[in-house]
A and B are shown apart, each in its own frame.
Chain A
């Protein structure tokens, strides 16, 4: 079956702009989580959604937001972009989101100039 699909794969923005990233989970997976990956920092948890409800949120400023739709697809938005937001944003889906295997997409690489 199809894996986790993230769009766009690459994007370049300038400071102050906003960006929306999309994630389509594996069919049947209801949990979607988002992570920010930067060199030397590993993966930092952004948030997790299950059945359109945010169940947990990481320590990121309010400029980072997300949502999940009834078909389990998820979007994350970053407003007022800063240079430090340049990163690979990874989406992962799982069946239940609790000790289940995470299935990752290939990520959306955001560059902020």
Chain B
């Protein structure tokens, strides 16, 4: 069965420090990969996605992620975080074959400290 694992439920980090949020997936078929962000009392919005091509993907707000097929990972990084990055981040996959559903991880709550 396909699954997405976000091992870190919470990540505290000081402002202007770098951060990495980890995501691993398990799938027997080819997948597309996504990172979404959810600010308090809001829905989710897309940060970035990997469909094909370059394994390093750049997204909005200075975030980037690298697809590693051999390690089945899609970790999210930002070199310098701001207070405004405090939010919950979700990794998700959907399937190249087309099942019309996305599987989400359980989320990582990023808290940026002043």
Query: What is A's interface to B at a CB cutoff of 8 Å?
Result: 4, 31, 33, 35, 40-45, 48, 50, 55-56, 58, 90, 92, 97-99, 101-107
> Are B43 and A33 touching (Cβ within 8 A)?
no
Which residues of chain B are within 8 angstroms of A97 by Cβ–Cβ distance? 100
Interface of A is mostly: strand
Total of A-B residue pairs, C-beta within 8 Å: 61
A47 → B minimal CB distance (Å): 8
A42-B90, A104-B36 known; 17 new pairs, CB 8 Å cut-off, are: A31-B100, A33-B102, A35-B104, A42-B6, A43-B102, A45-B101, A48-B100, A50-B100, A58-B101, A92-B43, A92-B44, A99-B98, A101-B46, A101-B49, A102-B44, A106-B41, A106-B43
Query: What is B's interface to A at a CB cutoff of 8 Å?
Result: 6, 9, 32, 36, 41-46, 49, 51, 90, 92, 94, 96, 98-107
